[in-house]
Amino acid sequence: MNIRKIVTLSEEILTEGGRPVTPGARVAIAVAVVENPWAGQGFVEDLTAGIDATASDLGALLTPKVIEALGAPVEAYGKAAIVGIEGEVEHGSALIHTLKFGDHYRKAASATTLLPAVEKRAPAGTVFDIPMKHITDATIRSHHQSVEVRVADAPHPGEILIALAASAQGRPQERLAPLSTEQ
């Protein structure tokens, strides 16, 4: 795995809707920009070798970084793969939609639900939203949220940007009724 750069971001929302958010709503993102393991090979039928060589290491690398950047227990989480324009969306999907990648995060966060994801092919500097859901119950509406991310110089055409996102709570000032009220 060839890593060009790692980016960690965090934010704390202190006001929403003109009202204080107490405590502040914390969100964090950890990003690795890596060489696409299938770059320059044309169409690769079996992606297993690249998955085996890359996915678990990426999960092990990014998980502690996003948790440390959050600085609080993870309540909502998500992931992303943005593939440079010389790759295929399937290349990013191959790295993040495997237990070799996601189980690092699930175990560290004591999570039981699938990680919501976004994946797409895009040029460097593309803005993308990482969806997040509650770590143990994807029907908890308060934790349905997303975080906007942009890495100005990534991904290069032969790279993949892989990211994990975490939130320490639901949306600031959330006030939707539970899903059970509509069933």
Per-residue pLDDT at 95: 98
pLDDT in tens, the chain (183 residues): 899 999 999 999 999 999 999 999 999 999 999 999 999 899 999 999 999 999 999 999 999 999 999 999 999 999 999 999 999 999 999 999 999 999 999 999 999 999 999 999 999 999 999 999 999 999 999 999 999 999 999 999 999 999 999 999 999 999 887 777 777
Per-residue pLDDT at 180: 76
Closest CA to 140 of 108, 106, 174, 107: 174
Question: 23 in a domain, yes or no?
Answer: yes
Per-residue pLDDT at 183: 77
Closest CA to 80 of 105, 46, 109: 105
Per-residue pLDDT at 148: 97
Number of compact structural domains in the chain: 1
Question: 93 in a domain, yes or no?
Answer: yes
Structural domain of residue 22, as residue ranges? 3-152
Question: 77 in a domain, yes or no?
Answer: yes
Q: Amino acid identity of 170?
A: G
CA dist 84 and 53 (Å) reads 19
**Structural contact between residues 106 and 115, judged by C-beta atoms closer than 8 angstroms:** yes
Within 10 Å of residue 177's Cβ, how many Cβ atoms?
Answer: 8
Question: 175 in a domain, yes or no?
Answer: no
Closest CA to 103 of 139, 59, 41: 59
Query: Is the entire prediction scored with pTM above 0.85?
Result: yes
Per-residue pLDDT at 181: 77
Question: 25 in a domain, yes or no?
Answer: yes
Q: How far is CA 86 from the centre of its chain?
A: 22
Question: 147 in a domain, yes or no?
Answer: yes
Question: 166 in a domain, yes or no?
Answer: no
Question: 120 in a domain, yes or no?
Answer: yes
Q: Amino acid identity of 46?
A: D
* CATH code at position 129: 3.30.1330.110
